[in-house]
Amino acid sequence: MLKPHDDSAPTRTVPPSRPDPRHHTRGPGRRGILGLLLALTFIGGALVGLTGLAGATAGGGCSGSIAEKAVCQARAQKGDPYVWGGKGPRVFDCSGLTHYAYRRAGLDWRYRTAAGQYSYGVRTGRTVSTSELRPGDLLFFDWDGGEIDHVGIYAGNGRMLHASSGRGKVVETRLNGYYRSHLLRSAVRPAPGSAGSDDGAERKRTTEPTSKPTRSTEPDQIPVVVLPFTG
């Protein structure tokens, strides 16, 4: 016999089931990964931009005459890698550095090779004796008695800034006996207003430069002769 339904009978409350985390926890998915990559790309681009801005600020922060700014700009590139044919702004060869430094300093010239920069000085009457060097003057070197092989910027106090293939980077070095023994007698002062000069001093330069570069014949170091042992 069926019992009538008793509304007053207590009912048992069944607690809700907990969600299975395996079904409700999602990974980043394709869209999430794509967004992450885009964010990283944006951050990387921003960092590169800031690095370039810092380099531009360093170059733009140079002041003084064109020659002084060229020295400052060349010094700002110290440590940059040497690459044959490199003309900046991050890699240089020797003439690429001197050309870049003077272009950034405000000199409008198109002579990029070492021989071309020397010819520029000859044609414009801007050669000077290496006994009258001023910061910013271009120094030229002949390693083997032939053509011009190397160029650097005189930094003052017997030092030179140059992109060295031997060191593999832009360095500032002392003009020791080895360098002086291969130094041409004529340097080039690309622009007026070299450090420590005025208009009158600028006229005091070699008026008849040699058509061919000549090598210094008086090295600072005494050559050592090694005789073969015959005993």
Of 132, 108, 147, the closest CA to residue 188 belongs to 132
Q: Read off the tokens for 173.
A: 């070095």
Active-site residue, selected from the candidate residues 72, 99, 150, 182: 150
Q: Distance between CA atoms of 193 and 67, rounded to whole angstroms?
A: 7
Count of CB atoms within 10 A of residue 113's CB? Answer: 15
Query: Which of the residues 62, 72, 99, 162 is marked catalytic?
Result: 162
Does the annotation mark 182 as catalytic?
Answer: no
150 classed as catalytic: yes
Query: 80 Cβ partners below 8 Å, 6+ apart?
Result: 90, 91, 92, 163, 169, 170
* 202 Cβ contact partners less than 8 Å away, ≥ 6 residues apart: 189, 192, 193, 194
62 annotated active-site:
no
Distance CA 98, CA 189 (A): 12
Pairing mode, if any, of strands 138-141 and 169-174? unpaired
Both tokens assigned to 111:
């002579």
Torsion angle of the four alpha carbons 124, 128, 130, 131, in this order, in degrees rounded to the nearest 10:
180
Whether the CB-CB separation of 176 and 141 falls below 8 Å is answered with no
Catalytic pick among 62, 94, 99, 182: 94
Active site residues: 94, 150, 162
